[in-house]
Chain A
Amino acid sequence: AQSVTQPDIHITVSEGASLELRCNYSYGATPYLFWYVQSPGQGLQLLLKYFSGDTLVQGIKGFEAEFKRSQSSFNLRKPSVHWSDAAEYFCAVGASGSARQLTFGSGTQLTVLP
């Protein structure tokens, strides 16, 4: 069974600083990987996804993530954080061939200081 670990429960950064949120997964084959963002009182919005090919994927809102098979990681990055990026971020892994087995990490809460 697949699993996802987000080791950082809460991260605080200053506006304009760079950001990296960590995600490690466990899955026997090539996984499908996702990052979602949840703003307060909102549902989940898909930021980006990795299925195959280029290991550096670009998403919405200036986010990118890099798939590193050797480290079983899919870390999310943003070069300059905006106050509106404050939210909860979830990494998820899906089994190859089907989306129904999405497994979510525990989430990382991002606080942005002015």
Chain B
Amino acid sequence: SAVISQKPSRDICQRGTSLTIQCQVDSQVTMMFWYRQQPGQSLTLIATANQGSEATYESGFVIDKFPISRPNLTFSTLTVSNMSPEDSSIYLCSVEGTVSYNEQFFGPGTRLTVL
């Protein structure tokens, strides 16, 4: 399975600011995913990021709030814009398996607290 790292691991931010989360994979992958895990909740898919194309957002998530970049096959960023306390969550990136494309492997997550 791929080794996935995320930066930062955690952050505390002020309302109205933006935070960019980085996701780095140790191998080339076609599809990367960004999830949100609100406190005490399960995971919700924010968007799917393919290299060289615009990210595909799930219902309830918009590009202005969660812009995503995917400049190459090993890296992606998610920005949480104009943050409010409701954005306090764990944000996780994941990648499809390279042997089996029907499974996903997850990074350690970024724990965000918005004051």
Contacts and interface: CB of A to CB of B under 8 A. Distances in A.
Interface of A: 32, 34, 36, 41-46, 49, 51, 90, 94, 97-100, 102, 104-107
Interface in B57-115: 92, 94, 96-97, 100-109, 111
B3 to A, nearest CB: 11
Given A36-B106, A100-B45, 19 more contacts: A42-B108, A43-B92, A43-B107, A43-B108, A43-B109, A44-B94, A44-B106, A46-B103, A90-B42, A90-B43, A98-B101, A99-B97, A99-B101, A99-B103, A100-B33, A100-B48, A102-B45, A104-B43, A106-B41
B45 A46 contact: no
B96 A99 contact: yes
Contacts of A32: 102-103
Interface string B1-19: 1001000000000000000
A5 to B, nearest CB: 11
A99 B48 CA distance: 11
A contact patch SS: loop
A51 B102 CA distance: 8
Contacts of B102: 32, 49, 51, 94, 97-99
Contacts of B48: 100
